[in-house]
Amino acid sequence: MTRKKITQSSQRWCQEHRNDPYVKQAQQAGYRSRAVYKLAQIHQQDALFRPKMTVVDLGAAPGGWSQWVKQQFQSIRVFALDILPMDPLPEVTFIQGDFREDVVLNELLTALGEEKAHLVMSDMAPNITGNKSVDQPRAMLLAELARDFALSVLAPGGHFLSKVFQGEGFDAYVKSLRLHFKQVNIRKPDASRARSAEMYVLAKHYRSDTALPRSPSIP
């Protein structure tokens, strides 16, 4: 029974993916993923990007968000991080490794030089098992790790954009961001599938005096 349910779910996803207008649009435009339209719609609503920013893209692979940012704003510096390999993008600095590790953070800080990031953005999500009691804690842990990373690299007044999923831990996560940012908004771009619990939290105007001490690196 379980195997049948998984097969039917996979079939529905494949059919939905094939018929998705954003998938087709991304393929025609040469983008690496449909997720670029989520970012574009958030920017359209919130004017997220401006020339000469420094942006860090966490969990960047396959690189759609970094690709879109560089195409739209040539003067923005983009640093893409992911534990997975990613095909090179013109004028995007890619650092492969686990962003929780000090060696990766130090490589980013060296690349940044004297600057700090104006925006940290994360579209990370765990591998979905279909079990909400497993998937939701994993998703929230990723969002929390991305938040803590952002607090360590953001310039005063900087912004943080993170994917989250509605469910246990969501309200506490939003509340935690309000301790560090002057404004926190919840966004559900049209490109996010309606049936998905996926949301985006946009935290703006970082108050650097509230920075958290960095946790020890993972084993």
**Which residue among 24, 38, 52, 163 is the active-site one?**
163
Q: Is 130 left (phi over 0), alpha (psi -120 to 50) or beta?
A: left
**Cα–Cα–Cα angle for 49, 157, 216, nearest 5°?**
105
Q: Which residues participate in the annotated binding site for S-adenosyl-L-methionine? A: 63, 65, 82, 98, 123
DSSP state of 97: S
Dist. CA 159–CA 165, nearest whole Å: 19
The answer to whether 92 touches 156, Cβ cutoff 8 Å, is no
Nearest Cα to Cα of residue 123 among 100, 139, 107, 104: 139
What is the sign of the dihedral through the CA atoms of 33, 21, 199 and 52? positive
- 163 labelled catalytic: yes
Which residues are annotated as catalytic? 163
